[in-house]
Amino acid sequence: MREIDIIGAGLAGCEAALRLADRGYKINLYDCKPTQMTAAHKNIDFAELVCSNSLKSVDPETASGMLKEELKLLDCRLLQIAERNKVPAGSALAVDRTEFSASVTEEIKNHKNINIISSLVEDWDTEKHTIIASGPLTLAPLSEAMQSKFGEPLAFYDAIAPIVSADSLDYDCCFFGARYDRGDKDYLNCPMTKEEYSDFYNALLTAERAKLNDFDIKVFESCMPVEIMAKRGFDTLRFGPLRPVGLSREGEKNYAVLQLRKEDNFGQSYNLVGFQTNLKFPEQKRVFGMIPALKNAEFLRYGQMHRNTFINAPKIINRDFSCIKFPKTFIAGQLSGVEGYVESIASGLLAAENIDRQIQNKPKMILPQTTILGAVTQKLTIETQKFQPVNANFGILPPFENRIKDKTNKKRAYFERGLKDLKRYLSI
């Protein structure tokens, strides 16, 4: 039985391990847990979701929804586990993060072909088939080994949102409902008047932030802290995480609305949607407590920022996630330069598929560029002056020959074209 080493039991590493183990390979799955935990991790189980419990929209008229449909066709294991552990979240796929990680860990531990090694990996054998999926918080020894082999990795800062206790919310100041009444009423909406928003906004601008050690801080746009976003203008939050459109109770018109999403199936805790932050903990309680529904909120987890590391993908990996310099080494997950939970899972799937094909001397799996997955992998390998992580979005898809003016029709056309091309590719 041929052995494959996988370094890191996060989303990408677990997806890769299950896929390859199902195909009869002996997998040595290395992870530093529980011997050593990174700054962001709290759970000793594998595939831990750190920043949020949402895997984003399942709506086919969104890029994240289209990506999930592609992964279903590719028989993605972690997406199936996510479906079994989902919590109500309207048109989004959100999971009970504790149960999700426990379910993944159970499948990993019970698989006869997976050997779990709890150890800090300091280097790897470039002559042995290996997938490195050590994540955005890769610890120093392995990071230094990669630096010596590939060059210095890049870094940016990522932020996570707070979680509050359901029992501590003021339900007289909030209401359940979905935006434009699409889906079930799974979100708890916390409205603000113009005066309340103005006071909150001004307090946010002057609130004290936690100090970060690194001199050059790069923040990825999709996880930008609200206090940084607010500095772009008074209405920026009202067009972002606090947008009120489509959210009303009995016809009332709200000036700004914070949405809360369930963290678990029992509704005992809620995540502040889109409210990633790096404010000091007392400041989070003070400033976010100015939102009427949160005036007595008990914070079960405060928001914080953490360092993310990723390679300069265009110079290091091919479209099949193999390394240019070391063909038997594959890199997957956020370390490879993809951004997002589902994107990380997808990269693990593709790395596993292609390492299997390499061993069997089969053609690489290079998906059509009209698919989200194909476009993401293609984007990873395009030389740029300043490489930044890539996530699922319609902007990376090739345009249509005949322009489609209507946005809804255009998104639907992207979906139909991509799924048609993927089905044709998989049937070959």
pLDDT of 235 reads: 94
The DSSP bridge partners found for residue 260 are 188, 272
pLDDT of 67 reads: 98
Q: Quote the percentage of the chain above a pLDDT of 70.
A: 94
Contacts of 152 (CB under 8 A, 6+ apart): none
pLDDT tens digits for range 261-318: 988 777 888 999 999 999 999 999 999 999 999 999 999 888 888 777 889 999 999 9
**C-alpha dist (Å) from residue 13 to 311, 348, 399:** 16, 6, 33
Which of 267, 255, 61, 99 has the alpha carbon at shortest distance from 184?
A: 267
What are the tokens at 96? Answer: 């009970």
Separation of alpha carbons 206 and 208, rounded Å: 7
Separation of alpha carbons 353 and 22, rounded Å: 12
**C-alpha dist (Å) from residue 175 to 162, 165, 185:** 20, 16, 9
Characterize 75-93 residue by residue with b for buried, 16 or more Cβ atoms within 10 angstroms of its Cβ, and e for exposed: ebbbbebbeebbbbbbbbb
Phi, psi of 311 (to 5 degrees): -80, 165
Residue 386 Rama label (left phi>0; alpha psi -120 to 50; beta): beta
For residues 131 and 93, is the Cβ–Cβ distance under 8 A? no
The reply to whether omega before 34 is within 30° of 0 (cis) is yes
Angle at 126 between CA 124 and CA 127, to 5 degrees: 125
For residues 120 and 37, is the Cβ–Cβ distance under 8 A? no
Give this prediction's pTM. Answer: 0.79
pLDDT at 122 over 70: yes
Phi, psi of 381 (to 5 degrees): -105, 10
pLDDT tens digits for range 76-116: 999 999 999 999 888 889 999 999 999 999 999 999 999 99
Range from 31-35, 140-144, 354-358, 402-406 that averages highest in pLDDT: 354-358
Residue length, the chain? Answer: 428
pLDDT of 224 reads: 82
pLDDT of 215 reads: 37
- Mean pLDDT, rounded, for 392-398: 89
pLDDT at 56 over 70: yes
For residues 301 and 215, is the Cβ–Cβ distance under 8 A? no
DSSP string, 118-168: E-------TTS-EEE---TT--HHHHHHHHHHH-PPEEEEEEE--EEEGGG
pLDDT at 31 over 70: yes
pLDDT tens digits for range 203-244: 999 999 987 654 345 555 566 889 999 999 999 999 999 999
What are the tokens at 361? Answer: 């001397």
> CA dihedral in degrees (340, 345, 347, 353; nearest 10)?
-170
pLDDT tens digits for range 149-174: 988 666 776 778 898 989 899 999 99
Domains of the chain: 3-153+311-427 (3.50.50.60), 160-306 (2.40.30.260)
pLDDT tens digits for range 168-180: 999 999 999 888 7
**C-alpha dist (Å) from residue 54 to 58, 132, 272, 386, 399:** 11, 25, 11, 29, 29
Mean pLDDT for the chain? 90
pLDDT at 41 over 90: no
